[in-house]
Every structure is written in structure tokens, then in C-alpha cells.
Amino acid sequence: MKKLVWPLIIIFFLLGGLAAILLGQFILPPEPRPETVEAISEQWSGSAHADSEAESFVHWDEDDPPVISTSCAKCHSAYGFLDYLGEDETEPNQGTSTDNEANTGSVVSCFVCHNDSAHVKTSAYFPSGETIDTLEESAICAECHQGRRSGLDVEKSTVNLPEDEVNEELGFINIHYKIAAAVRYGTDVITGYEYPELSYSGFFNHVEDYQLCTDCHNPHSLLINPDECAACHSEVSDYGDLRDIRTEDTLDFDGDGDTAEGVYGELTKMHDMLYSAIQAYAEEVSDQSIVYAFQNPYWFIDTNGNGEADEGETERANSYGSWTPRLVKATYNYHLVLEDPGGFTHNARYLIQLIYDTLDDLSEVVDVEMSGLLRPE
């Protein structure tokens, strides 16, 4: 008998081990496998946030002394963002300013988003003074992707002035760059210049699992995975198709009869119409032809009157100078659309409303064909 005990004990343990493995494999849920830090670092390294050569991070290098001012440091420097959050020796801030100027030489590094304050932050304060407190982990993104101006700044600069009189005090108001969060929340944060007595869309309520910045953008590579969109939007098979997305509620806003194009197409065609209307207004009312180029200060005199932004015209010395209140409002709304390349997904309805109303406003003084256009509800 004694001879049998040891083999039995061994078999018992072997069977037990096997059972434990099977249990682990099939019955208990698998342990989540977090991405490795190496993989995450690699994704981040290829992103715009890590691009240490980008104008966003080297703009202040040649200044004397080379420091980033308190009104720019929050978004253009890791040191500035940590100062803003109160992760340095200073108190947390609200708004744009940091307590101190920041040194140059940093990017949007891991520590910007991974520190005690960032991890519990759920709200962001926007340039209009509005606060959104349902941002969850997107609050950090919203602090930098909110622009520097709101529709209220446009209102303030033009209030009580005759709409069509050129005024030397006026100038172009630039909302600033990559303003995704400001567009996403629309009228909730008064991003555009909103014409009086009209109602505008707030947050674009997409679908439950694709609402936050990081639901759609990988927080490290910043990329969108089109396969995820394809699950609901059958027109998508690769990245290039995102602009073809159209839903049941997407109407023929631009009135071109094409009800198969994506909401991107509806938006872009109306935006092009707005450019023509702005040019007509400048020529007929401000009495100086205007062209746009996507470089500071954006609006230039169309010296040769051919309607195109030619080389030689897009110099700072040739900046546009005949501003009226109506033109300040129209150019602000025109430019902001271009500052959100994802606007067609972030909140197409709000942008189309702004374009429609700007066209409608210009149509009071110049010819604009409004009859086919639809304003989103």
C-alpha cells in the first residue's frame, strides 16, 4: 500500500494543476493586458505632441530671454501646463494664465497628462468664461484645444458700431489653433460669433461610447481607428472615408442636390460659399478687395483684384485694413471652421449653423443665393 501513496499524491497535484489552468483559461475572465509602457512611448513619440521641432514648441527659442509668456505657456510647454495645474510650487490656475513664464524646450510629455492633478481633473474653463464639468479624462485635452477667443470677444469689439462703416479700431480676431474642444461644445461655450436672437447647438451628442476625446483619439498616438467607426458607419472602410460619413439626419444643407455626400461635403461647400460672400462684401462695401491665406495674419489685400491669394500679396505689410463690424464677425466665423479639421465630426451642426447665419447676415447687403440652403435644427 505504502508504495502507492507517492504516485497518488503526484497525480493529485498534476490533476489539480491542470484544473487550475483550465479554470483560469476558460472560466475566470482573462486578466486585462495593459499596453506596455514601451508600446505607449512609441505611439506617443510619433505624435504631434512629441514633435520637438514643431512651431508650437520652438516659437520662443529665439526670443531674448527665451521664455514663454504667462499667456502662452499653459498650452505650449509642459512646465507651463504643470504650473497651470498647480503641480509646481504654485497654486492651481483657472483661465489661461500661468503664474510664471516657462522655459522653452519642452513638449506635451507624459507628465503633462500623468500627474495627481491631471488624473482627477474633470472640468475645463473656456475663453468665454464658461466651465464644462462633464469632461472626465478629456478635461486635460480641452484645456489646450479650446482656442484663445470666443464669440463674446467679437461681440465686445463691435458692439454699438454701425455695421458697414470702416473703423480703424477694428481688426481680424483669430480664435487660435486646433480648437476641437471649443467646437465640440458649440454654444455651451459660445465658440462662434452667434447672431442675436438665434438658437445654436451645444455639445454634439454622438453615441454613448464615442463622446470623449479619448473615445475616438488614442491618447498617445492621437490617431482615430476607422475600423471602430465602420461598426456603425457602413460607408467607412479606411481613414480616407471618414469624410463620407452621413446619417439619416444629414439633410441637403448646401442645397446642391447631392444627398449621398458626407456631412463634410455639406459643410465644406457652404464654407466655400461664405468665402465668396466675404469677398463680394469687401469689394462692394468695405471698398478694398480681400483674400485669405492660411498663414498669419490670414486676411490680405487682393492687390491685383484677381480673387486669389498670390505670392507677394500674402506679406504682413499687405494685411487687410478696411474692417467693418459685419466683416469682423464674418471673418471670425470663416476662419474658426478651418481651425478644426475634425469639425465635421466634432460638431458639424453647430458649424453649419454659424456659416448659414453669417451668409444670411452678409445677404442683407450683398447678393448671396440663400434659397437652396437649409439651417440645421
Residues within window 345-364 making contact with ligand HEC, judged by CB under 6 A: 345-346, 348-349
Task: State the virtual CA torsion across 265, 267, 269, 272 in degrees, nearest 10.
Answer: -140
Amino acid at 217: H
Asked if residue 173 binds ligand HEC (CB under 6 A), the reply is no
C-alpha cell at 121: 481633473
C-alpha cell at 264: 463634410
Asked if residue 112 binds ligand HEC (CB under 6 A), the reply is yes
| Binding characters for ligand HEC, 6-45, by CB under 6 A (x = yes) | ----------------------------xx-x--xx--x-
C-alpha cell at 126: 473656456
Contact at 8 Å (CB) between 140 and 121?
Answer: yes
193-201, 230-238, 253-261, 305-313 -> range binding ligand HEC (CB under 6 A): 230-238
Report the candidate in 288, 297, 277 with the shortest Cα–Cα distance to residue 365: 277
Residues 182-201 that bind ligand HEC (CB under 6 A): 184
Asked if residue 180 binds ligand HEC (CB under 6 A), the reply is yes
C-alpha cell at 89: 510650487
Asked if residue 119 binds ligand HEC (CB under 6 A), the reply is no
| Binding characters for ligand HEC, 85-104, by CB under 6 A (x = yes) | -----------x--------
Report the candidate in 340, 190, 362, 175 with the shortest Cα–Cα distance to residue 281: 362
Residues 277-336 that bind ligand HEC (CB under 6 A): none
Phi first, then psi: give them for residue 342, nearest 5 degrees.
-100, 10
Please identify the residue of the shown chain whose CB is closest to the bound ligand HEC.
342
* Closer to ligand HEC by Cβ: residue 295 or 306: 295
- The Cα 308–Cα 169 span in angstroms is 27
Residues 58-77 that bind ligand HEC (CB under 6 A): 59, 71-72, 74-76
**Residue of 1, 8, 28, 207 that binds ligand HEC (CB under 6 A):** 207
* Closer to ligand HEC by Cβ: residue 219 or 325: 219
150-158, 173-181, 310-318, 329-337 -> range binding ligand HEC (CB under 6 A): 173-181
Contact at 8 Å (CB) between 340 and 180?
Answer: yes
Amino acid at 165: E
Residues 256-285 that bind ligand HEC (CB under 6 A): 263
**Residue of 106, 138, 157, 286 that binds ligand HEC (CB under 6 A):** 138
Contact at 8 Å (CB) between 241 and 235?
Answer: yes
